[in-house]
């Protein structure tokens, strides 16, 4: 799984939980909160959907790792790989 | 003794199928928790339910859905709710208000869903206060009322730091109190902020078919997610062992267990279900404020009679006394709602005309009446309240043809006569009706005066949501259910 795949997974989740947001021009390196109207409730949903759809656990202390698409990819890619090889 | 639920275990049981309970249960079911909602009544919605008499449908609580947010608005409660429950805006079929009014003798402040109107009205009616008012609104906008750890402060004290005219203060207090204060003659400032934003900075809307549209959307969502719901089955007892709600004993006699229990039935009401509490537990924190409401169905469109307001908050003096009256009803203040006066899409019009009038009432006085007296008092207060409402509405005039000039003479007696000729049906509910729908002690519409903002109880797996957690109105109660489910169940590792 590439980092771009991980980014797409995160974007798909955001599209599902915030269908009123325009995701066509999201910059990978910029914090999601600075580009989209997402609050802590929405981030909880991203975490919940990662668990529900992909079996990936994100402990609360690691939530800051989900700040941007780049940081999501860096943080989640090893988790997806570990999952795939398990 | 044993029924269909006997011995079942759930991840979470939600007590009460009102707005907050449904929202909490949807959130939990969305993330695959095994959830059960228990509701004692036969209809969902709690205070915001509906009923039918002779084929006509009536809403119980809903005058307006507050906190209206237009499509594309950012960060507002309504937007959060739609997202968190994954509902589409279209499902709620919301129509915006035409315009509302706060009416005092010789004074009036109009407002609608564009805040600028309200500000200009305050400037017109209270030119000396407008600067302070603007500063107050700035302070309100910057205030984070959703923080769960805010220190309590008297709303009147805070407002007095910005404006000095008592009449303006009271004109702000009437709508805010009537649409959400559980406390007599004042409220916690954070509650004032929630309501001020909900009413004046956001605004009013209503689904064409009333509150049932919202309830239906919530029930459909919950059903799609596979959530379980048991109606006409309340919780008789919460069996407590140590610091846990160990078992729930249902009205049916069934006993079930759950990892988490979220109760929307109220602070004292929840305490009194517990096996480790006295029967009168929580009596220092039960609400005193209840209402009566008259509903008049008319064979005329209110607009055509000259009634263009959506909501009118009225007060018959310059002082405003928001407390449990000594008499059955207090006619000195109240709320008039005309549900026809929303801008329904596609030019839809409600089939009948409606006039609803709400006023403060005394639960104990109503509860002490015999059945015959109850009927008699209902008749009497219906007429008195109707009369009072007419004082604050434009006079009705006879208008036979669209183009004839209305007679110059129009007075109150004529208004009453025309209204009674136009009346197709009427109903009135009292504090006892409110208890029937909500289970709240004393018909307390807005629950306990002291809210439990973090929803925690002294038991580690029992939480409160809804009215007594402290977010207000339909939007607030939905947000309450969502927040408590997130905080206490989903957000935990």
* SS percent in chain A: helix, strand, coil, step 5: 65, 0, 30
Strands B333-337 and B353-361: antiparallel
Give pTM, 2 decimals.
Answer: 0.93
Distance from CA of B42 to the nearest CA of A (A): 32
- Chain-centre distance of CA B327, in angstroms? 23
Give dist(CA B128, CA B153) in Å, integer: 26
Instruction: State residue A20 phi and psi, 5-degree precision.
Output: -85, 0
Query: pLDDT at position B1, please?
Result: 46
Q: Which of B71, B75, B493 sits opposite A37 (nearest CB)?
A: B75
Closest CA to B146 of B421, B415, B489, B487: B487
Q: Which helix H or strand E contains B269, and what residues bound it? A: helix B267-271
Q: Which residues contact B314 (CB under 8 A, 6 or more apart)?
A: B102, B103, B104, B174, B333, B334, B335, B336, B388, B389, B391, B392
Q: Kindly determine whether residue A60 and residue B491, on different chains, have CB atoms separated by under 8 Å.
A: yes
Q: Do residues B22 and B41 make contact, with C-beta atoms less than 8 angstroms apart? A: no
Closest CA to B266 of B48, B19, B6, B465: B465
| Interchain contact B86–A (C-beta under 8 A) | yes
Q: Do residues B356 and B210 make contact, with C-beta atoms less than 8 angstroms apart? A: no
User: Please, what is the Cα angle at B314 between B318 and B159, to 5 degrees?
Assistant: 55
Average pLDDT for runs of 10 along chain A of length 86? 94 94 93 93 94 93 94 96 86
Q: Which of A16, A48, A60 sits opposite B493 (nearest CB)?
A: A60
**Can you tell me whether residue B429 is helix, strand or coil?**
strand
Query: pLDDT at position B398, please?
Result: 67
Radius of gyration from C-alpha coordinates of chain A? 12
Taking CA atoms, B22 is separated from B38, B39, B351, B444, in Å, by: 10, 10, 30, 21
Q: What single-letter DSSP state applies at residue B123?
A: H
User: What are B231's two structure tokens?
Assistant: 């109606």
The residues facing B313 across adjacent strands are: B102, B335
User: Please, what is the Cα angle at B178 between B75 and B291, to 5 degrees?
Assistant: 135
Query: pLDDT at position B475, please?
Result: 92
pLDDT tens-digit profile, chain B (493 residues): 457 899 999 999 999 999 999 999 999 999 999 999 999 999 999 888 888 888 888 888 778 899 999 988 888 999 999 999 999 999 999 999 999 999 999 999 999 999 999 999 999 999 999 999 999 999 999 999 877 778 889 999 999 999 999 999 999 999 999 999 999 999 999 999 999 999 999 999 999 999 999 999 999 999 999 999 999 999 999 999 999 999 999 999 999 999 999 999 999 999 999 999 999 999 999 999 999 999 999 999 999 999 999 999 999 998 999 999 999 999 999 999 999 999 999 999 999 999 999 999 999 999 999 999 999 999 999 999 999 999 999 998 765 544 445 554 567 888 999 999 999 999 999 999 989 888 889 999 889 999 999 999 999 999 999 999 988 889 999 999 999 999 999 987 5
Place of tokens 């668990």: A51
Query: pLDDT at position B321, please?
Result: 96
Q: Kindly determine whether residue A20 and residue B71, on different chains, have CB atoms separated by under 8 Å.
A: yes
- Mutation to test the B interface, candidates A13, A17, A44, most B Cβ within 10 Å: A44
Enter the ipTM. Answer: 0.88
Give dist(CA B292, CA B377) in Å, integer: 11
Chain A contact set for B88 (CB, 8 A): 19
Q: Which residues contact B317 (CB under 8 A, 6 or more apart)?
A: B104, B105, B332
Q: Which helix H or strand E contains B215, and what residues bound it? A: helix B211-224
Closest CA to B420 of B298, B247, B262: B298
């Amino acid at each position: 799984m590439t980092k771009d795949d991980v980014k797409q997974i995160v974007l798909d989740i955001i599209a599902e939980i915030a269908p009123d947001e325009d995701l066509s021009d999201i910059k990978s390196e910029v914090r999601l909160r600075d580009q989209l109207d997402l609050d802590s409730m929405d981030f909880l949903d991203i975490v919940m959907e990662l668990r529900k759809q992909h079996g990936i656990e994100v402990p609360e202390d690691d939530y800051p790792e989900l700040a941007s698409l780049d940081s999501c990819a860096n943080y989640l890619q090893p988790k997806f790989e570990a999952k795939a090889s398990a | 003794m044993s029924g269909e639920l006997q011995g079942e275990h759930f991840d979470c049981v939600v007590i009460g199928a009102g707005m907050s309970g449904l929202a909490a249960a949807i959130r939990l079911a969305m993330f695959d928790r095994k959830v059960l909602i228990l509701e004692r009544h036969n209809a969902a919605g709690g205070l915001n339910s509906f009923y039918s008499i002779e084929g006509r449908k009536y809403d119980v609580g809903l005058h307006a859905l507050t906190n209206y947010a237009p499509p594309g608005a950012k960060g507002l409660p309504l937007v959060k709710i739609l997202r968190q429950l994954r509902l589409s805006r279209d499902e709620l079929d919301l129509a915006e208000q035409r315009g509302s009014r706060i009416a005092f003798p010789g004074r009036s402040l109009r407002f609608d869903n564009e805040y600028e109107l309200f500000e200009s009205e305050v400037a017109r009616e209270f030119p000396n206060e407008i600067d302070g008012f603007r500063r107050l609104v700035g302070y309100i906008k910057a205030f984070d009322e959703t923080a769960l750890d805010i220190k309590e402060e008297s709303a009147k004290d805070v407002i007095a730091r910005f404006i000095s005219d008592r009449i303006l203060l009271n004109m702000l207090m009437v709508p805010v109190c009537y649409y959400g204060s559980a406390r007599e003659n004042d409220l916690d400032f954070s509650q004032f902020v929630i309501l001020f934003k909900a009413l004046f900075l956001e605004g009013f809307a209503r689904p064409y078919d009333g509150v049932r549209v919202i309830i239906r959307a919530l029930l459909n969502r919950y059903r799609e997610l596979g959530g379980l719901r048991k109606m006409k089955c309340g919780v008789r007892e919460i069996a407590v062992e140590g610091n846990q709600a160990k078992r729930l004993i249902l009205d049916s006699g069934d006993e079930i267990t759950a990892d988490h229990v979220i109760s929307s039935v109220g602070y004292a009401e929840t305490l009194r279900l517990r096996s480790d509490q006295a029967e009168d537990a929580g009596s220092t924190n039960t609400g005193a404020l209840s209402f009566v409401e008259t509903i008049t169905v008319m064979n005329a469109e209110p607009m055509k009679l000259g009634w263009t307001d959506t909501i009118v908050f009225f007060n018959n003096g310059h002082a405003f006394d928001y407390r449990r009256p000594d008499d059955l009803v207090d006619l000195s203040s109240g709320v008039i709602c005309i549900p026809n006066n929303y801008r329904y899409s596609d030019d839809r019009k409600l089939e009948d005309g409606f006039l609803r009038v709400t006023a403060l009432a005394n639960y104990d006085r109503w509860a002490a009446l015999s059945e015959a007296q109850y009927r008699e008092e209902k008749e009497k207060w219906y007429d008195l309240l109707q009369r009072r409402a007419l004082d604050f509405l434009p006079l009705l005039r006879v208008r036979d043809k669209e183009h004839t000039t209305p007679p110059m003479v129009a007075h109150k007696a004529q208004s009453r006569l025309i209204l009674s000729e136009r009346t197709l049906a009427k109903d009135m509910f009292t504090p006892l009706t409110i208890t029937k729908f909500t289970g709240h002690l004393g018909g307390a519409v807005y629950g306990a005066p002291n809210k439990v903002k973090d929803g925690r109880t002294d038991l580690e797996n029992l939480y409160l949501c809804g009215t007594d957690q402290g977010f207000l109105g339909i939007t607030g109660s939905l947000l309450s259910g969502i927040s408590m489910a997130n905080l206490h169940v989903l957000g935990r590792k």
